Amino acid sequence: MTSPEPTGTAVRSHEVLGLRSPLTPLETAAKARRFGSFYYADMWIRRMRGYQWTVLMTAVGTPLVYLLGMGTGLAVLIDGNTNAGFPGAGGSTVSYLVFLGPALVATAALMVSSEENTYTIMGGFKWHRTYYGPNASPLSSGQIALGHVMGLTVRILFTTVIYYLFLLAFGAVEQPATGWLMVFTALLAGLAFGMPLMAFSATLKEDKGQFAMVQRFIVMPLFLFSGTFFPLDSLPLAVRWIGWVSPLWHSTELGRVLSYGHPEPAVMTAVHVLYLLVLAVGGLVLARRNFTRRLDG
């Protein structure tokens, strides 16, 4: 038996108490259609409570371990045996830890994106089927896909902001006035890599080791050969192309310009930004299309 509509007296009592009148089903559906992506993002973020300690330890433990290892180990060794240093603003040089910092922030964003755009996507379609309930509501499949991206963005920003704060604490940011923007260039790397991966994951119906292959033959080579630990031009041409196509390299170069004034032509900065945006937007378009085919087909 349906609940009766609020009477005039009930509506007035709501007004006296400062409460809003209940929305009708049509109004609720219209609101969901309008703000559906935000509703799904809110659900996505709340879902992270189930593995909040993993999220927290990844965001805090990873930078702490890396920076302690690099700052007191490898960086000391390299700085002690490299007289020239790494080129910075105005012909100056910077330490290895300052050179490395932006790459680590961008890598953190890429790793989070690779985690949340593989098994999480398949779980939404196959194991937990968390996409089908919202899709049966006024939310569209495109809103569900966009809501996932919005939730992913929140997690990437949470991780990269903490990473940046650790860099500041270790003295690995020469220009804090602009260095904080590396958080957003790292976000671009995460989305540029994650959106095409999200589109791919949305097409898979069985886990036959595809994600393990992605980690082994795509993520790890990008991590190792994207100018992360040393300048890209120090690599042989046979593998240098990996950096050229890698979102991680483009984001790292942007971060180095912002963090310590890495000398780079303005046109290359524009190329980095444009390349990352094309990958992110193009991947999102494909992901939304694949979500629609999967959920509405």
78-107 pLDDT, tens per residue? 776 666 678 888 888 898 899 999 999 999
Which of residues 120 and 4 earns the better pLDDT score?
120
Share of the chain above pLDDT 90, in %: 62
Q: Taking CA 114 as the corner, what is the angle to CA 247 and CA 110, rounded to the nearest 5 degrees?
A: 40
| 120-142 tens-digit pLDDT | 999 999 998 999 998 888 889 99
Closest CA to 5 of 19, 20, 25: 25
Q: At residue 71, does pLDDT exceed 70?
A: no
Partnered with residue 86 across adjacent β-strands are 94
Q: At residue 26, does pLDDT exceed 90?
A: no
Q: At residue 32, does pLDDT exceed 80?
A: no
Which of 44-48, 72-76, 156-160, 170-174 is predicted with the least confidence, judged by mean pLDDT?
72-76
Report which residue type is found at 132. Answer: Y
Token representation of residue 39: 């509703």
Tell me, what's the pLDDT at 160?
A: 95
| 219-271 tens-digit pLDDT | 999 999 999 988 999 888 889 999 999 999 999 999 999 999 999 999 999 99
Tell me, what's the pLDDT at 29?
A: 67
Tell me, what's the pLDDT at 21?
A: 57
| 86: CB partners within 8 A, 6+ apart | 93, 94, 95, 96, 98, 99, 231
**Under 8 Å between Cβ of 86 and 73:** no
Under the banding of pLDDT at 50, 70 and 90, the label for residue 162 is: very high
| 172-194 tens-digit pLDDT | 999 999 999 999 999 999 999 99
Q: Taking CA 102 as the corner, what is the angle to CA 181 and CA 287, rounded to the nearest 5 degrees?
A: 75
CA distance 221 to 207: 22
Closest CA to 190 of 167, 230, 158: 158
Which of 79-83, 123-127, 159-163, 206-210 is predicted with the least confidence, judged by mean pLDDT?
79-83
Q: At residue 12, does pLDDT exceed 60?
A: no
Instruction: Give the DSSP per-residue string, the chain.
Output: -PPPPPPHHHHHHHHHTTPPPPPPHHHHHHHHHHHHHHHHHHHHHHHGGGGHHHHHHHHHHHHHHHHHHIIIIIHHHHHHH-SS-EE-GGG-EE-HHHHHHHHHHHHHHHHHHHHHTTHHHHIIIIIS-TTHHHHTTT--HHHHHHHHHHHHHHHHHHHHHHHHHHHHHTT--S-HHHHTTHHHHHHHHHHHHHHHHHHHHTT-SS-SSHHHHHIIIIIHHHHHSSSSSS-GGGS-HHHHHHHHH-HHHHHHHHHHHHHH-----HHHHHHHHHHHHHHHHHHHHHHHHHHHHHHH-
Q: In b/e form, how buried is each residue of 118-151, taking b as 16+ CB within 10 angstroms?
A: bebbbebbeeeebbeebbebbbbbbbbbbbbbbb
Tell me, what's the pLDDT at 148?
A: 96
CA distance 83 to 198: 44
Under the banding of pLDDT at 50, 70 and 90, the label for residue 2 is: very low
Chain mean pLDDT for the chain: 87
Report which residue type is found at 260. Answer: Y
CA distance 8 to 296: 41
Tell me, what's the pLDDT at 58?
A: 79
Q: At residue 15, does pLDDT exceed 60?
A: no
Residues making up the chain, counted from first to last: 297
